[in-house]
Amino acid sequence: MSQQPVMDFGEHPTPYESYVRADVITHLQHPLTDDPGEMAFLVTTQVMELWFTVLVHEWRTAADALRADRLPDALAALARSTHEMRALNASWEPLAHLTPRQFNAYRPALGEGSGFQSAMYRRMEFLLGDKSASLLVPHKGTPRAHAELEKALREPSLYDDVLAHLARRGERIPVEVLERDLTQRYEPHDGVAAVWQRIYAAGDDGPDGGALLRLGEALTEVAELVWRWRNDHLAATRRAMGGKTGTGGSPGVAWLEKRAARWVFPELWTARGQV
């Protein structure tokens, strides 16, 4: 006896619609030109915003777990985030092969808009330790986003919570790193590199059974995927507009090149050459 799916929900939305809110999501696109390529640009950008939201959730979950010294929970959140980062990075594909003419067909519709103005992307960067109070200025006209960013500016980054966790486990994290001004961009420190060097040199034979090595590798995977995201962004932008000034008056390719050259969780990379 075959069982048929429920088809009639009366005057109520389907349970799928109630949970996913698909009708809301699929009606958020309002192209401003007649160019058929603009729809792909809008949807791709909105998908990226949703992935930013997921990543902020995962990295905050990891940070909260580390603050409570629940390392397995933190590792689980970091592992999930790497799969989500790969999906985020893949979302460049619809835009990665635009010619300048194709992009220029709808670029004027952006006006002064720029991805640089994304509040959720900024929260993601703050969690990665790249902070500056000046980056709150564009969001003054959006009170909720501004308040969330101001809170994130003053909170520890994910890496700050990692280093505090290491210190509680007896690792010699320098006091000036643990007590640094959290509203400032994280800067690499030789003392932190020395800690990671020891962790990697010990490997699975360390007193922690390799738990901190696994944490280092999870963070390294995140850092590499962030680097790939930045480089894919750079490549797509260079292909679509060359060296022109970016949308919203941003420096465009020159700014993205500077970003792509900066690694997150920097001591994890310098320590590798010292083991």
In a domain, 198, yes or no: yes
Q: How far apart are CA 28 and CA 131, in angstroms?
A: 30
In a domain, 225, yes or no: yes
In a domain, 121, yes or no: yes
In a domain, 136, yes or no: yes
Q: Which residues of the chain have pLDDT under 50?
A: none
Q: How far apart are CA 93 and CA 111, in angstroms?
A: 23
67 a known binding residue?
Answer: no
In a domain, 2, yes or no: no
So what's the pLDDT on residue 12?
A: 92
Residue 248 CA, distance from chain mean position:
21
So what's the pLDDT on residue 56?
A: 98
So what's the pLDDT on residue 248?
A: 58
In a domain, 9, yes or no: no
> CATH number for the domain including 205?
1.20.58.480
In a domain, 5, yes or no: no
233 a known binding residue?
Answer: yes
Helix (H) or strand (E) holding 152: helix 143-154
CA distances from 229 to 14, 96, 226, 235, 260 (A): 36, 12, 5, 10, 9
What is residue 2's three-state secondary structure? coil
So what's the pLDDT on residue 46?
A: 97
DSSP 173-232: --HHHHTS-TTSPP---HHHHHHHHHHHHHGGGSTTTTHHHHHHHHHHHHHHHHHHHHHH
DSSP character for 72? H
So what's the pLDDT on residue 35?
A: 96
In a domain, 193, yes or no: yes
Name the residue with tokens 């999930």. Answer: 80
So what's the pLDDT on residue 4?
A: 86
Helices 37-67/158-168 angle, 10° precision = 20
Q: Which two tokens stand for residue 132?
A: 């500056």
The domain in which residue 98 lies consists of: 15-273
Contact 192, 99 (CB under 8 A): no
Listed residue (197, 181, 58, 73) closest to 129, CA to CA: 181
Listed residue (138, 173, 139, 137) closest to 156, CA to CA: 173
pLDDT tens track for 70-115: 999 999 999 999 999 999 999 999 999 999 999 999 998 888 888 8
So what's the pLDDT on residue 18?
A: 94
The count of domains in the chain is 1
